[in-house]
Structures are given as structure tokens and as C-alpha cells.
Amino acid sequence: MATPNKLRLVLPELPDSPPGPDTHPHKAGRVVLPADATTEEAYRATLLNCADHIARNIGAIAEARDHEGVHQARVGLRRVRVAVTSFGEAFRADMPEELSERAKVLARSLGVTRELDVFATDMLPPVEEAMPNLTGLGVLKLALEDVRARAWTDSVALLRSPLFTDFLRNLEGGTPLSRRSDEIEGGQCFRHGLPGDYRTSLSQNSPIASSILSSERCV
């Protein structure tokens, strides 16, 4: 079992944070391990690094509404799943399967905001440039801004929910996971890409939305 002093040695090496609320997106810091670190210490240090990576992007999402913060948080969640796959078999007491499933669901939930941003910034502009007079483009853009705002609100609510806090605490070695991974606040669990209500809102407001959405890419 890792001692507190030794765990401090294997904590992630992070850049200095500016004073006050941090609203900038952050990539993962390095994990620095001593030469005599045990497998358990490497596993715990990796999960601590993932938790820190995710937590350091909360301000960028909740305060700055920065799409790169969403991307980095999702990268952190994917790293949790990789860590569990790499180390988890030896540490069943740490509930690696539950951690992996929770990380997967949270990443997909935040992915809704990411996908709508990609739709608005990468997929729609080429259509608008190629067919500027296409009927319905203006209406679609208005509808898209509405659903993007809703998606951002949902993402912020998720980050401030007991579900998300519980997940981070468990990564940091705190209390066990206490809620099922499909119990995201408001009963919404976005397991299959863009949720139906967002897709319906866009499609109902513009006849060209369905054809664009049919080419939707997974990010």
C-alpha cells in the first residue's frame, strides 16, 4: 500500500496555475514516478492525473464555455478508461469496471456539446459557402444556436452535479461510486451521439438539417 509521503512523489507534475478562477483549457500534466514505484502506485498516480486533468478543465467549460475545455475533459475521461484497461485487472477492489463505464457515459454526455460545436463550425460553413442562397439556412442557424445553448447548459449542469463530483472523488481514492452510470441529472444519458430532442429541434426548423445531420461525424 502506498504511503502518503510516497504518494506525494508520484502525484502528477503540473504547470503552475494562475491566481483566481482558472478558465483556461488544460492538457494533461506529466506523471512522474520514482524508480521504485509499485504497480499500485503507478495505477493510483495515473488515476490522480486523470482526475486532475478533468477537474482543471471545469472552469473552461462552466465559466468560459470554451469548446477546447470540453475536448480536454473528454480526453481525460478516455484516459481513465485506458488506465482501467491497462491496470484494472489487478485491482478489482477499486471497481475498475464501474469507473470505466461511468467515464464512458460522461464522455458521451459532454460529447453532445462537442458534436454540436463541430456541426456549427466545421460542417455547416462549407454548406453555407457552397449554397449561400439555400432556403432554410438562416432558420437552421438560429435553431442551431438555440440547441447549442441548451447543450452547453446541460454540460455545465452535469459538471456541477453530484454524479460528476462522486466520480472525481472516486478517482482520487474517496468514497465508492454511489449512483448508476445511467443516472445523469435530469434523466438524460446521451449514449448514441446527438440526442433525439436536439436532432428533432434542428430538423423541424430546417428542411436541410436532416441531410447534414445524416453525415454527422463522431468526435
Q: Per-domain residue ranges for the chain?
A: 9-213
Residues in the chain: 219
How much is the pLDDT for 153? 92
Per-residue pLDDT of the chain (219 residues; tens, 9 = 90+): 444 444 443 334 444 444 456 899 999 999 888 889 888 888 889 999 999 999 999 999 999 999 999 999 999 999 999 988 888 666 655 567 788 889 999 999 999 899 999 889 899 999 899 998 888 888 888 889 988 999 999 999 999 998 899 999 988 874 455 444 444 443 343 333 444 555 555 555 444 445 445 544 433
Distance, in Å, from the CA atom of 116 to the CA atom of 11, rounded to the nearest integer, reads 35
Distance, in Å, from the CA atom of 126 to the CA atom of 122, rounded to the nearest integer, reads 7
Are the C-beta atoms of 85 and 47 separated by less than 8 Å? no
Q: What are phi and psi of 35, to 5 degrees?
A: -60, -30
CA 209 to chain centre: 26
Residues whose CB falls within 8 Å of the CB of residue 112, separated by 6 or more in sequence, listed in order: 151, 154, 155, 190, 193, 194, 195, 198
